[in-house]
Amino acid sequence: MLVFAGVPLAAGVAFGYQEIDGALAERTEAAQIQEQVDELIQLTELRASLIDERNYASAVTALSLTGFDPGLVNLVTGVDVENERDGSAARVDELIVDSAFAPEMDRLQEIRAIADAFDILDESDLSEAGRLYTEFELEIGAAVDARLDELLDDAGRISSTGELINALRIFTAATSFRAATSNASTAALATYFGLPGLEGRTAVAELTGEMYRASRDVSLIRRIADADSAALNQLETFLELPSFERFGTVATDITNAGGVEPIALEDVTDRIDELLAVFSDGNAAVASSFDVVTAAGSDVDGAVDALRERAQSGAMRVAISVIIGALVAIGLSFVLIRVIVRPLDRLAEGAQRIRDGDLDQRIPDDGPVEIRGAALALNEATSSLEHFRHQTDALARGEVSAVVDGDDSQVGALGESIRAAVDTLAESISARDELREQLLHEASHDGLTQLANRRASLDKLRAAVASPWKRGNTAVLFVDLDGFKSINDHHGHRAGDVALRIVASRLGSAVGADAHVGRLGGDEFIVIIEEVPTPAVAVQVGERIIEAVCVPIDVAGTSLALSASVGVSLDDGRGVTAQAMLHEADVAVYEAKRAGSGIVRVCDEAMRTEIERSARLESELRRALRSDEFELWLQPVVDVDGLVESSREALIRWRHPERGLVMPGDFIEFAERSDLIIDIDRWVLLDAARVLAADPGGTSIAVNVSGRHLTSESFVHDVIAPLRAHDVDPSRIIVEVTESSVLDDLGRAADHLDQLRELGVLVAIDDFGTGYASLSYLRQLPVDIIKIDRSFTRDEGSQSLVSMVVETARLLDLTVTAEGVEDEQQVETLRRLGVDRLQGYHFGRPRPPAQAQVTADSRPAGSVDTLLAPEGAVAIDAPVARG
């Protein structure tokens, strides 16, 4: 801010300083000239006084020489010569002390002493004193001249000093005039006194010379002096005196006369009047000429004063102008500060506050138009920001509609862009809210039926089970549609979806408003009823559900018959968990299905025991996988011609740490209910690959794979990867799949099997004849080998079926293997029927790889080869070698 005041101020001061400096210098020089003038006047006076002293001293001497009594002279002329001499001497003393000639005091005293010692008898002393006086006076005169030159020099350097120089020239002339007058006066006296000889003539010459000099000075002064010059006035006064004219006359007379004859001493008395007249005229002229010098001195003083005053007033003028300039500058600065700086400051402060988030303030819109514009723009921006801050606050509070419908008048350009941003924000917030609601709904609801999903249903069940206020039983009904898969397969997924939606709505009306209905996934539904008074009520609800589902459904003009099985679990205040109840209901529905479908089964004690056993088994199986408790046993498959081993089947055994060797029948089916079977299959595939790799000359190994694994994503990889890892030819592996596991998801199973076959892996259909038993399927299945189930090998009445299978296999170029071959007779029958390969105890029991070999068994068929475990749950192969 100070900058605004400072610049002009500094400029003014700088300029003023220069001017004042000049003026002050001039004033200083004027003061110096004044001093010089003062000294000059002093020296001139000294010189004049010394001349007076000399002249009066001469007069005193002359009077005493002529015998005149000075008192008488005084009486007659009015001039006290001695007194005048002493006065002049005192004046000389006074002036010489302060002058440059102060050191000459002694010399002056000597001169005076000589003049005093004047003896009438020795005239020479008179001239001696006069000479010394004159010598001294001339020295002072020279000093005066030198100082005058110096002074004129100095004065010339100062501008506007014409007046001073003029005054000085007049002063010089006056001084010169003064000296000339005084000298002329003395010379006139001397002439009249008739100084003898040379002196007399000298005196006349001197008088003439001094008169000429005086008249020259007079004309100079008259020429250059102004009319108001004191010196000129004084000179005019002088010229009116009779004495000066008389000097002139004397000089002229004497010159015309060719010299004067000195008045002889004896004639003095006669010519006393004439003498006294000359004396008093000279005296008057000297006094008057001194007045001219004094006047000229005062003229110089006046000129110097005027100069000094001018210098001073010049300095003052400059100083005043500087001060005015400074005031103007300061004033201007204040104006600037008021007009620009302050509004700018306010603008800056406002901007800063806005930056700090203070949107409430408004910047005063004053000052120059640009600042006003900026302030208005900022105010508009802040009011927009403020407005939208309220809106974003509203958004933050979730009041989206308040923002969307808000009033946005007076928003400006910035406001519009912010408005757009806020709108986008509001939109995305409401979109987000909608999405969240949707996601929340989707997270808890089933998209197809809009029923609560598995998770929400479990949450519901958990809440019901955990409720401390429940009075009765909580019942969970697991509803599983029967044969739903065939609807999907035969009528398409669209029809399946329609069926599921219809079932969902029927479930809702069947169970009543108080019950919870959810979809667990696929064709599985759940119903939760809180506070069921008795288990019978739950069963009744289950039966109502089955009835409702059984009503035929019309899908695209086709009437579809559905049925359902229901498993029920009641908590009975057992403190059972929701998850466990769901599992119990699941097991119950499984039992219901096993018992023939379309029925309700309640989970009872026996089922719970089975569930516990399963849970234990599951954890043991996991441990078995981790602890490598499984063993891969091999059973040979022989070619019907020559009965040599053509391949081997891998059959898993579990070396249980407590229960000994556990057969697959005791855990495979259980494992197939979960993904455990996939881990077991992988283990077998890996071990088979390892065995094949260790025995490069050995025959192929057939591995049983479960349906769950077959249709899983990793299946092809799980088969191939171990072979690649052990560098085993894929053609040395046969995968055995059951007819039903392929048909469950024919598309995916066929795809996976095709992939494997392309890689060289062979595919066998296991247990053929036990499933759909339709030969027409064979056409569609990507298989190489058909394994006729051992029930047909055993059964004599199945020969026609075996024959048909063989014939079809011939047409399709498939290999037929018969399982469960236990005796020679069976071998013969099967050979006659055209079966290609044979497998059974007759050729060898499953054995650990090291012992597995074709025995070309002569052992009698039907021998006891299985031993029942104490519980009857575990069957153990009794290796033939040990038997």
Q: Tell me the residue length of the chain.
A: 883
Question: Please, which residue, 587 or 652, has the CB nearer to ligand C2E?
Answer: 652
Smallest gap from Cβ 704 to Ca ion, in A, equals 5
Partner that binds at residue 510, options ligand C2E, Ca ion, none, CB closer than 5 to 8 Å by kind: none
Smallest gap from Cβ 688 to Ca ion, in A, equals 13
State the amino acid at position 756 in one-letter form. Answer: L
Question: Please, which residue, 449 or 839, has the CB nearer to ligand C2E?
Answer: 839
State the amino acid at position 47 in one-letter form. Answer: R
Smallest gap from Cβ 859 to Ca ion, in A, equals 21
Rounded to the nearest 10 degrees, the angle between the axes of helix 2-66 and helix 81-97 is 150
Q: In the set 217, 523, 736, 857, which binds Ca ion (CB under 5 A)?
A: 736
Structure tokens at 77: 């002329």
704 lines the binding site for ligand C2E (CB under 6 A): yes
840 lines the binding site for ligand C2E (CB under 6 A): yes
822 lines the binding site for ligand C2E (CB under 6 A): yes
Smallest gap from Cβ 706 to ligand C2E, in A, equals 5
Q: Among the residues of 512-597, which ranges form H helices?
A: 535-550, 578-594
Q: In the set 652, 735, 762, 833, which binds ligand C2E (CB under 6 A)?
A: 652
341: left (phi over 0), alpha (psi -120 to 50) or beta: alpha
Compute the C-alpha angle 145/279/122, nearest 5°: 85
What residues contact residue 607 under an 8 Å CB cut-off, 6+ apart? Answer: 584, 587, 588, 591
Q: In the set 277, 284, 385, 668, which binds ligand C2E (CB under 6 A)?
A: 668
Residue nearest to ligand C2E as judged by C-beta position: 840
Q: Among candidates 313, 278, 238, 300, which has minimal Cα distance to 40?
A: 300
Structure tokens at 690: 């390892």
Give bridge partners of residue 837 from the DSSP assignment: 639, 817
Partner that binds at residue 108, options ligand C2E, Ca ion, none, CB closer than 5 to 8 Å by kind: none
Question: Please, which residue, 668 or 759, has the CB nearer to Ca ion?
Answer: 668
672 lines the binding site for Ca ion (CB under 5 A): no
What residues contact residue 453 under an 8 Å CB cut-off, 6+ apart? Answer: 443, 444, 445, 446, 518, 519, 520
Smallest gap from Cβ 817 to ligand C2E, in A, equals 11
What residues contact residue 445 under an 8 Å CB cut-off, 6+ apart? Answer: 451, 452, 453, 456
Beta-strand pair 563-570/600-602: parallel
Question: Please, which residue, 562 or 765, has the CB nearer to Ca ion?
Answer: 765
Q: What is the DSSP letter of 103?
A: G
Distance, CA of 176 to CA of 182 (rounded, Å): 10
Smallest gap from Cβ 663 to ligand C2E, in A, equals 5
Q: In the set 61, 457, 704, 711, which binds Ca ion (CB under 5 A)?
A: 704
Give bridge partners of residue 654 from the DSSP assignment: 630, 662
Structure tokens at 59: 């007069």
521 lines the binding site for ligand C2E (CB under 6 A): no
DSSP-derived 3-state class of residue 57: helix
Smallest gap from Cβ 845 to ligand C2E, in A, equals 7
Choose the stretch contacting Ca ion; rule: CB under 5 A; options: 236-244, 428-436, 557-565, 704-712. Answer: 704-712
Smallest gap from Cβ 586 to ligand C2E, in A, equals 22
- DSSP class per residue in 586-599: HHHHHHHHHTTSS-
Structure tokens at 241: 């005196």
767 lines the binding site for Ca ion (CB under 5 A): yes
Distance, CA of 814 to CA of 754 (rounded, Å): 15
Show the binding pattern over residues 764-803: x = contacts ligand C2E (CB under 6 A), - = does not. Answer: --xx----------------------x-------------
Partner that binds at residue 846, options Ca ion, ligand C2E, none, CB closer than 5 to 8 Å by kind: ligand C2E
Partner that binds at residue 465, options ligand C2E, Ca ion, none, CB closer than 5 to 8 Å by kind: none
What residues contact residue 103 under an 8 Å CB cut-off, 6+ apart? Answer: none
Q: In the set 195, 250, 684, 778, which binds ligand C2E (CB under 6 A)?
A: 684
Choose the stretch contacting Ca ion; rule: CB under 5 A; options: 499-507, 612-620, 699-707, 838-846. Answer: 699-707
Q: In the set 9, 168, 650, 763, which binds ligand C2E (CB under 6 A)?
A: 650
Smallest gap from Cβ 733 to ligand C2E, in A, equals 13
663 lines the binding site for ligand C2E (CB under 6 A): yes
841 lines the binding site for ligand C2E (CB under 6 A): yes
- DSSP class per residue in 444-468: HB-TTT-SB-HHHHHHHHHHHHH-T
586 lines the binding site for Ca ion (CB under 5 A): no
Q: In the set 766, 836, 857, 877, which binds Ca ion (CB under 5 A)?
A: 766
Q: Among candidates 670, 622, 618, 631, which has minimal Cα distance to 879?
A: 631
625 lines the binding site for ligand C2E (CB under 6 A): no
Q: Is 299 exposed, middle or buried (0-12, 13-18, 19+ CB in 10 A)?
A: buried
Compute the C-alpha angle 220/224/230, nearest 5°: 95
Choose the stretch contacting ligand C2E; rule: CB under 6 A; options: 49-57, 236-244, 551-559, 820-828. Answer: 820-828
Question: Please, which residue, 321 or 798, has the CB nearer to Ca ion?
Answer: 798
Smallest gap from Cβ 582 to Ca ion, in A, equals 34
> Which residues contact Ca ion (rule: CB under 5 A)?
704, 736, 766-767
> Which residues contact ligand C2E (rule: CB under 6 A)?
635, 650-652, 663-665, 668, 681, 684, 704-706, 766-767, 790, 820-822, 840-841, 846
